[in-house]
Structure 1
Amino acid sequence: MAQTRLNTVRRGSGRPLVLVHGLGSSWATWLPIFDRLAATRDVIAFDLPGFGESDPLAGEVTVATLTDAVEGFLRDEGLEEADVVGSSMGGRLVLEMARRGHTGSVVALDPGGFWSPGQRAVFGATVGASIRLIRLLDGMLPTFTQSRIARSALLFQFSDHPWALDPGLVLTELRSFNRAASIDEALDALVQGPTQPGSLATKGKVAIGWGRQDRVTLPSQASVAMQRFPNARFRGFRSCGHFPHWDQPAQTAAFILSATA
């Protein structure tokens, strides 16, 4: 079966570093740290199947099939041993790659899959409500994202200081949510599917970063993640919500470069 066409952006030179975005996002979610990383690395970011400008998967959308797609993309591009970084759902995908035996370094930022049943139910309800609200506001998003108050209301769940975020970044992110063909299936897979298994020994190095003010994947879940990946390096980010690369870009870029050095 042919590999799904994935929209890709590549900049910089050096050792390859692949970036995997989260639920509803696109490659552009990495813009706050892209150039910092590309100053010393060959950075490859892409839209997951059914997100951004990439074609959807032909079959079922699950954590397993999305991970298969990422691994297929790396094989096609000759990047089987590349270091990989994932955010949120993307963090879960790269940890699944580590569990499967990926040989490159893996960095997961606020990954999903380590919640209790109650936390998972709250995640599904609140993120689902956010998606429905953003769809209702689609035509007004260019105006709303210019307002510090509106940015705070729309992204309170995702950022520790949403009013300070770049309006263009926020508009791109919210529009990505509205245009993601596979967002509903992927959300169902996260809410209804199994939690993330761990690994006592991975072939490549593993590092996990977590925003201490994360309201999506709660900071308490970091201890579960570390129990399942006990050899992982951990970093908590202060004054930081669900997206460390948004709220603490300099610290996040430094963490990624150090963890994959």
Structure 2
Amino acid sequence: MLQPPSNERASGMAAPGGVTMPPPLPGPRIELDDARAGRIAFYGEDAAAAGGVPPLLLVHSINAAGSAYEMKPLFDHYRGTRAVYALDLPGFGLSDRSERTYTPRLMTDAIHAAVREIQSRAGDGAIDIVALSLGCEFAARAATETPNAFRSVALISPTGFDRRAARAAEKNPSLEGTRAMPWLHRLLNIPLWRHGLFAALTARASIRFFLEKTWGAKNIDEALLDYDTITTHQPGAENAPYYFVAGYLFSTGILKLYQSLSMPVWVAHGVRGDFVDFEETRVVKRLPNWSIEAFQTGAMPHFEIPDEFIARFEAFLNRAKAA
């Protein structure tokens, strides 16, 4: 069951040695104890001057250093003008990082739990959701399962539209199928190197390297690098990422799932870096509720050019409102 709204905090998570991990975003932290998703944390508060604008939920990507901090430019922009919330998915940030099987079902259930809590505060109306990278697959799944809960879906650099995903769908088109490789997960978890391997992957220099691949440039966001370094050095930080690396969180039927979305959908993606294969967006371009825009950026345009990104996002929301 959900903990009551009064269980809101602003403190961080205590790590061994008395070091406290700060919350990824300002404002109250809301903790939910969901029967399916476990303990999850998300951040934000209702805006007194929202003026009937639906709440906005932000969902980060999945990688070794994922957290709600990845949505900070959007959270900072909308905070105080509309109800905006950002979620730490299970296994990341200040949510439960325990050793368990991390799957699309677990991540989707966490989004459902956050949406129910938001609606308990703001009424039962539909919300807007923005997700990043692999988080897009979970947001889309949630929106297909409870379509009346979502007015619009915005996907930033979504996974599932590349040629590798298309090949996986050919082998297993099931909406419940994943690209899980149990043998790889067992290999990663051999005690001899389990912690040492993750420590090497999340050394500050390694994180910088991966962020430069994401940006497609050297001028990454240094504050994001700082927070990524902190969040990857917390107890249990390797649990969810190892399931990610082993393919457990990628859905083989995601293209079919994307096509079933009934509300307005906006795709925003960059053209630089390692995440620029969106060839399979051709299967949704013909759908009247989909719009796709490219930015002259890497995979995180909301960090690189926030003003332009938000202007185009607002234009999409205006179209969604009209629809």
Same-fold call, TM cutoff 0.5: yes
The change in CA–CA distance for 1:178 and 1:109 in structure 2 (over 3 A counts) is farther
Q: How far apart are 1:177 and its partner, in Å? A: 4.5
The change in CA–CA distance for 1:246 and 1:120 in structure 2 (over 3 A counts) is farther
Distance 1:120 1:40 in 2: 43
Distance 1:200 1:137 in 2: 35
Q: How does 1:144-223 map to 2 (within 5 A)?
A: 144=205, 151=208, 153-161=209-217, 163-177=218-232, 179=234, 180=237, 181-187=239-245, 188-191=247-250, 193-196=251-254, 197-198=256-257, 202-216=261-275, 218-223=277-282
Q: How far apart are 1:55 and its partner, in Å? A: 1.0
Aligned residue identity for 2:104: V
Shifted more, 2-11 versus 42-51: the winner is 2-11
2:108 to 67, 80, 86: 67
1:85 to 130, 145, 161: 130
Matched, 1:21 2:44: no
TM-score (ref. length: structure 1): 0.77
SS at match of 2:107: helix
Matched, 1:248 2:248: no
Matched, 1:9 2:43: yes
SS at match of 1:208: strand
RMSD, aligned α-carbons: 3.3
Q: Give the unaligned 5+ runs of structure 2.
A: 2-32, 169-178, 181-187, 189-195, 319-323
| CA contact 1:112–1:217 (8 Å) conserved in 2 | no
Relative contact order: is structure 1 or structure 2 higher (C-alpha 8 Å, sep ≥ 6)?
Answer: 1
- Higher share in helix: 1
The change in CA–CA distance for 1:11 and 1:75 in structure 2 (over 3 A counts) is closer
Distance 2:140 2:74 in 1: 21
SS at match of 2:150: coil
| CA contact 1:103–1:203 (8 Å) conserved in 2 | no
Matched, 1:258 2:299: no
The change in CA–CA distance for 1:224 and 1:247 in structure 2 (over 3 A counts) is farther
The change in CA–CA distance for 1:136 and 1:202 in structure 2 (over 3 A counts) is closer
Aligned residues: 242
For residue 157 of structure 2, what is the aligned residue in structure 1?
Answer: 110
Offset from partner CA, 1:36-79 (integer Å, 9 cap, x none): 22253221012001111101488632223311221122113326
Give the greater-gyration-radius structure (CA).
2
Aligned residue identity for 1:18: L
The change in CA–CA distance for 1:28 and 1:202 in structure 2 (over 3 A counts) is same
Q: Give the unaligned 5+ runs of structure 1.
A: none
Aligned residue identity for 1:160: G
